[in-house]
Amino acid sequence: MADALASLPAAREISTGALADVLHGASEPVVIRGLVLDWPLVQAGLQSAREARGYLAAHSRPVDLPVSIADPDQGGRLFYDEAMAVNFRMGKGRLPEILAGFDKAEGREADAVPTVYLGSIDMRQFFDGLHEANHVDIGRDDALASIWIGNATRIAAHNDFPRNLACCAVGRRRFTLFPPDQFANLYLGPIDITPAGRPVSMVNFETPDFARHPQFREALQHGVLAELEPGDALLIPPLWYHHVDALAPFNVLVNYWWRDTPRYLGQPQTALTHAIMAIRDLPEDERAAWRQMFEHYVFSGGEAARAHVPQAGQGVLAPLDAAAAARLHQFLLRSLSQ
């Protein structure tokens, strides 16, 4: 990795006993050393990568899993090609067969081995007993527990809307993190054609091109590093950008996603995409008017927009509950279908 990135300060660390204090309120990344060191999966991986693969195979269900595969010359970077199409292909297969491929590749030079990556695999859906034997009680029944399996990979900087607890189970992980306000300095790519569903930084973190991406120097003034060994975990607050390097020949990460607000409020990304379609290409004076209305109705919190309206008639101006959100959802569906 470039010296400029390697010299970033380390993320704050806490002990496992302090997890509850930061789990739902941390505004900056926090490393928790040894949080999941007692997991059977972690212990299997500390014996050997082959032992970890055997443990995973023994818990897998007899169903196909999606897998991303990139040619060796991509260097583990799952990204775009020169035509801005993704540089990997999708396949599917049973986990024991996929893991057997890692066994065959063991000991070969990394530049001769294709990148194989199983990303965001639902642990409850595709495994029997794996989640129950290897999990963190975060106090949220609605948290999505996912597993990520692969060889050495480089995942471009992106962010997630939910809160994220990432647990390094096998191998090693390096996270390079930036606060949400650095999005422009990270030179994000398209929001509708992405390698994994979220806009990603177009900067190659391995060899940053500061002539092409000069504002990335400013982003580096705000970044932090988190190096995870087996058993360590990283809490990533909502919307923090993170570039992820899987550093060992075989790596497994388990993560939990959950949001601090009700699911019925929907996805902000959907609103952004719709605004691009409906507002961005309007004349400048009209965009200015809509910017003021968004501030009045949305970004201010809406208090001034509803204060003069009797409560019984405020409609969507009032704070939303599940029923009101459902009505608004149906209204939007009807509007978009016209």
pLDDT tens by residue, 245-293: 999 999 999 999 999 899 999 999 999 999 999 999 999 999 999 999 9
Q: What is the pLDDT of residue 319?
A: 94
Question: What's the CATH code of the domain at 164?
Answer: 2.60.120.10
Give φ, ψ of 184 to 5 degrees: -70, -35
1, pLDDT greater than 60? no
Is the domain of 98 the same as that of 165?
yes
pLDDT band with cut points at 50, 70 and 90 for residue 2: low
What single letter denotes the amino acid at residue 112?
A: A
Return the number of other C-beta atoms located less than 10 Å from residue 178's C-beta: 25
Cα 252 to Cα 79, 107, 188: the distances in Å are 20, 18, 27
pLDDT tens for each residue of 58-98: 999 999 999 999 999 999 999 999 999 999 999 999 999 99
Nearest CA among 75, 48, 31, 14 for reference residue 171: 48
Which tokens in the block code for residue 238?
Answer: 């909502």
Is the domain of 149 the same as that of 226?
yes
Spatial strand order of the sheet with 89-94 comes to 12-14, 30-32, 233-236, 163-170, 251-258, 144-150, 115-122, 64-70, 89-94
Which tokens in the block code for residue 108?
Answer: 């070969």
3, pLDDT greater than 80? no
Is the domain of 270 the same as that of 316?
yes
Please state, rounded to an integer, the average pLDDT across all residues of the chain. 95
Q: What is the pLDDT of residue 177?
A: 98
Q: What is the pLDDT of residue 196?
A: 83
Return the number of other C-beta atoms located less than 10 Å from residue 149's C-beta: 27
167, pLDDT greater than 70? yes
232, pLDDT greater than 70? yes
Tokens 């050393």 label which residue?
33
Is the domain of 199 the same as that of 92?
yes
pTM of the model as a whole:
0.95
Q: What is the pLDDT of residue 175?
A: 98
Domain boundary pick from 260, 287, 312: 260
pLDDT band with cut points at 50, 70 and 90 for residue 326: very high
Torsion angle (degrees, nearest 10) of CA 264, 270, 272, 273: -170
Is the domain of 269 the same as that of 255?
no
pLDDT tens for each residue of 40-56: 999 999 999 999 999 99
Domain count, the chain: 2
pLDDT tens for each residue of 280-304: 999 999 999 999 999 999 999 999 9
Q: Please state whether beta strands 153-158 and 77-78 pair in parallel, antiparallel, or not at all (unpaired).
A: parallel
Domain boundary pick from 234, 260, 286: 260
Confirm if 147 and 254 have CB atoms less than 8 A apart. Answer: yes
pLDDT tens for each residue of 178-222: 999 999 999 999 999 999 889 999 999 999 999 999 999 999 999
| Dist CA 56 CA 96 (whole Å) | 8
Is the domain of 136 the same as that of 39?
yes
Q: What is the pLDDT of residue 25?
A: 84
Is the domain of 42 the same as that of 176?
yes
**DSSP-assigned beta bridge partners for residue 12:** 30
Is the domain of 287 the same as that of 184?
no
CA angle, 79 as apex, 260 and 166 as ends, to 5°?
A: 35
Is the domain of 173 the same as that of 29?
yes
- Secondary structure (DSSP) of 260-306: SS-GGG--HHHHHHHHIIIIITS-HHHHHHHHHHHIIIIIT-SHHHH
pLDDT tens for each residue of 87-142: 999 999 999 999 999 999 888 887 789 999 999 999 999 999 999 999 999 988 88
Considering the chain, what percentage of its residues have pLDDT values greater than 70?
Answer: 99
Domain span at residue 326 reads: 264-336
Buried b (16+ CB within 10 A) or exposed e, 101-129: bbeebeeeeeeebbbbbbbebebeebbee
Domain boundary pick from 238, 260, 282: 260
Torsion angle (degrees, nearest 10) of CA 36, 38, 39, 42: 80
Mean pLDDT lowest among 138-142, 148-152, 161-165, 303-307: 138-142
